[in-house]
Amino acid sequence: MQNNLFQIFDTIFLEQPKPPKSIFLEIDILNNQNTHDPSTKVSDIFEIFLNMLIYGFKKLNLDFTPDNILILQRYFNSVGVKLNIEYELFDTILFKDPRYVNRYCLIDQIDFTFIMNVFQKPRNNLHEFIATYQLDYEYLLFIQFEYI
C-alpha cells in the first residue's frame, strides 16, 4: 500500500497546487490478509496525511518555515484537507501542554519516523489527532488535519 501512496503523493506534488477539493482521494485500507476492511480507522487516515506532509517536504525540498507551510497547505486543500500547524517557542513547560501530553505521535527529527504515544486518549475525528515535531530546540510544532 505504501508504494501506491507514494505514487499518488508524487502525482499531487508534481505540479503546482490545484484548487481546493479538486483532487479526490479514495482511501481503501487493506487488512493483513489483503482483503478489504470496511472499518478504515481514523488513525490510518491521519497517518496517511502525515506521510503526505513528510513526502511533500522532501519532494519540494522545503523546511519548516511559515511560508513553506502555506505552500503545503495549498496542496492539502486540493485534496479537501486543511493542514494546521501551530508553532510554539520551545520551552520544557510545553511538555505538560495537553496538545503534547495527548498527542497521537511524535515525529522523529532524524529520519521523520512516527513514534506512537503510549498514553493515547480515544479519538473519533480526524482533527483530534495531533503529531508533534521539535524543531532544533527553537520550536515545538503541533500538527493536525481536518476536512474542509
pTM of the predicted structure, to 2 decimals: 0.87
What pLDDT is recorded for position 28? 63
- Look-up: residue for cell 480515544? 122
Q: Which of 11, 10, 12, 5 is nearest to 27 (CA)?
A: 5
Among left, alpha and beta (phi > 0; psi -120 to 50; other), residue 112 is left
Q: Is the pLDDT of residue 93 over 60?
A: yes
Q: How far apart are CA 105 and CA 95, in angstroms?
A: 13
Buried b (16+ CB within 10 A) or exposed e, 126-138: beebbbbbbeeee
Tens digit of each residue's pLDDT (9 = 90 or more) over 13-70? 999 999 999 998 877 655 544 455 555 688 889 999 999 999 999 999 998 888 999 9
Residue type, 133: Y
And the C-alpha cell for 113?
Answer: 519516523
What pLDDT is recorded for position 18? 95
Tens digit of each residue's pLDDT (9 = 90 or more) over 51-60? 999 999 999 9
